Amino acid sequence: MSKLVGYMEGTNPQWLTTLQMLGCDTLPLSNGQDGHGMNIQLLTQASKPDMIICWLHKLAWPKYYEVTPKELLHSTEQYEIPVVIACPSEFHGQVPQVLGELPQNVRLTDPDDVLALLRSELT
């Protein structure tokens, strides 16, 4: 059975093409504001992907926004969906200041390392 990988708007097309060529299906996801696909907050046990990839900025909203990054990722934590957040390594130490404490299921990955990670995790 093929793996299903959720992705948010702006995800590198090379990553998505590679996923397709590795036999994975892809599912567009939304952060609730961009209207790109299924709202990440509405994932269920039946609809959950095997993994999610996105850029950090898709989860980082202005302080006055009513939904926090932790709330956006709640369903991924509840259903134990691995989330790969692309962010340059040089900024990994600053991520908690932007997103707060990350759940156990979230992994920061340098954009240059995302393809290798996807290959190792999904094949």
In this structure, the chain runs to a length of 123
Domains of the chain in sequence order: 4-122 (3.40.50.880)
Residue 74 zone, left/alpha/beta (φ > 0; ψ -120 to 50; rest): alpha
What Rg, from alpha-carbon coordinates, does the chain have?
A: 14
Residuewise pLDDT in 10s, the chain (123 residues): 799 999 999 999 999 999 999 999 999 999 988 888 999 999 999 999 999 999 999 999 877 777 889 999 999 999 999 999 999 999 999 999 999 999 999 999 999 999 999 999 998
